[in-house]
Amino acid sequence: MFVRIPALAARHGAINLAQGVFDHGPPPELLAALASVAANDAVHQYMPSAGVPALRSAVASGCSPDTEVTVTAGATEALHCTMAALLRPGDEALVVEPAYEQYAPAIVAAGGVPVPVRVTSSEGTFASLLADACTSRTRLVVVNSPWNPLGRTLSDDEWAALAELAERRGIVVVSDETYEHLLPSGARHRGVLDVIQDPELRVKVSSVSKSLAATGWRVGWAVAGPGLTRRIRAVHQYVTFCPAVPLQFAVADLMASPSFGDVVGSVAAALHERAGWFAGALTGMGVGTKVAASPFYLVADVGSPAGEWCDRMVLDGGVAALPLSVFYSAPVPAVANLVRFAVCKRQSTVEEAAARLAARL
């Protein structure tokens, strides 16, 4: 479905709200940083495999940039390197569903066994489900906050359950925090580095893809304890060696500048504005939805089987979206009518999408 629906959209001229990819470029401050560093000959050559020191310092979040941060080719490579570093054949990894599509393949590629922990409603919690899913072979748990596709942040009881797994059972919490900067103005991101005290039992994965509208730059990172980091780097060394160096320098320059907070804040504010507008348009059509804490995506109840609805809309309505069911490894009746829209588009794009949906519905 992740391949088929976008391909159908391209073939039929549909507006692609199925993929979390922007239809506009990064903020001008990031492009200016790239232009500034590109004139330096040194940035076009190999750099340390662990990443440009300035970027490691910028994303260290109080950890050691020298021993606890690895820059990767996007969050996806960070996830794959982390799974390969942690899992041996037969090890189990809990995957909280609905889940981003890369988690299970990364686990399987490392020889691990994905064990789904399913939240069966868009408002449900996994706090009481984790302990029962654990076995003697459970090595790690993968979570996502803010959460794709639901858009919400993890609750206090969910973080407490994750801390219990780490502290009492020695299970590593791998937290994908790619959407960490896309919260409402004034909201503070709470992540795995805040909750899990033992650095060898936590891995934070993040990137600039969503926070800086630069999904094609493929600049991400993994933050973990020194022991875990040595293992992650040992894998990373033989995967990409180092991501694109000029892009690393540009990101580092922007993140170190006083304007960084304003830049990511403007990206977040624009997303919130567009999500609010689109949610209102959908509600006016009788499609139930609401804006989440991190509104990169909207989840809507379309009132009929979502897979059929998405096929019909891309072919007849000119708008592509994804059924929420594709983020589960097995059918979940409670989400059968739910659809995910990506609203990381220009205002004119979401307005045209709304007009097409209104005409079709």
Q: What string of DSSP letters covers 22-48?
A: -SS---HHHHHHHHHHHT-GGGGS---
- Cα 336 to chain centroid distance, Å, stands at 23
Q: What is the pLDDT of residue 258?
A: 96
pTM score, two decimals? 0.96
Q: What is the pLDDT of residue 33?
A: 97
Mean pLDDT estimate for the chain: 95
Query: In CATH, what is the architecture of 45-256?
Result: 3-Layer(aba) Sandwich (3.40)
Q: What is the pLDDT of residue 83?
A: 98
Q: What is the pLDDT of residue 76?
A: 97
Q: Find the mean pLDDT for residues 48-54.
A: 97
Q: What is the pLDDT of residues 198-223, one digit of tens each?
A: 999 999 999 999 999 999 999 999 99
Residues above pLDDT 70, as percent of the chain: 100
Q: Is the pLDDT of residue 196 over 80?
A: yes
CATH class of 4-20+261-360: alpha beta
Q: What is the pLDDT of residues 146-195, one digit of tens each?
A: 999 999 999 999 999 999 999 999 999 999 999 999 998 889 999 999 99
Kind plus residue range of the DSSP H or E element containing 156? helix 156-169
Q: What is the pLDDT of residue 245?
A: 97
Q: Which residues contact 299 (CB under 8 A, 6 or more apart)?
A: 122, 149, 150, 151, 289, 292, 324, 338, 339, 340, 341
Report the C-alpha gap between 183 and 188 in whole angstroms.
8
Q: What is the pLDDT of residue 6?
A: 83
Q: What is the pLDDT of residues 301-323, one digit of tens each?
A: 999 999 999 999 999 889 999 99
Q: Find the mean pLDDT for residues 9-29.
A: 93
CB neighbour class for 240 (10 Å; exposed up to 12, middle 13-18, buried from 19): middle
Q: What is the pLDDT of residue 2?
A: 73
Q: What is the pLDDT of residue 150?
A: 94
Please, which pLDDT band fits residue 8 given cuts at 50, 70 and 90?
A: confident
Q: Is the pLDDT of residue 5 over 90?
A: no
CB neighbour class for 231 (10 Å; exposed up to 12, middle 13-18, buried from 19): middle
Please, which pLDDT band fits residue 255 given cuts at 50, 70 and 90?
A: very high
- SS3 for 177-212 is CCCCCCCCCCCCCCCHHHHCCCHHHEEEEEECCCCC
Q: Is the pLDDT of residue 1 over 80?
A: no
Q: Is the pLDDT of residue 279 over 90?
A: yes
Q: Is the pLDDT of residue 361 over 90?
A: no
Domain ranges of the chain: 4-20+261-360, 45-256
